[in-house]
Amino acid sequence: MLSTLRGDAASPQIQVWASQIVKQTDAAVDVEVLFEEDSNTYIVRLAKSARVLIFRLSASQVHTDGREAECERTLQRKIKDLWNLI
């Protein structure tokens, strides 16, 4: 479980978690996390220079025990995708 909080209240905790992982991989990548109530998802925005990659984590991914590794793998894959953007 990435956060026990729900909705917008969880966004800062998820952003801290994501920032820690991103900084281990590429310190030049900026990360921002927002909650979208309509879709009940967390929008993760990765940016490096002019490159931007946006993806979503579902509330169930964030709030279900045992899915931290899945979320981390997704984040790592998206960082690599950001590197490969043309």
The Cα–Cα gap between 68 and 74 comes to 10
Contact status, residue 28 vs residue 19, Cβ threshold 8 Å: no
pLDDT in tens, the chain (86 residues): 899 899 999 999 999 999 999 999 999 999 999 999 999 999 999 999 999 999 999 999 999 999 999 999 999 999 999 999 86
pTM summary value: 0.93
Q: What is the pLDDT of residue 69?
A: 94
58: its two tokens:
């579902």
Q: What is the pLDDT of residue 86?
A: 62
Q: What is the pLDDT of residue 85?
A: 86
Of 49, 48, 23, 19, nearest to 33 by C-alpha is 19
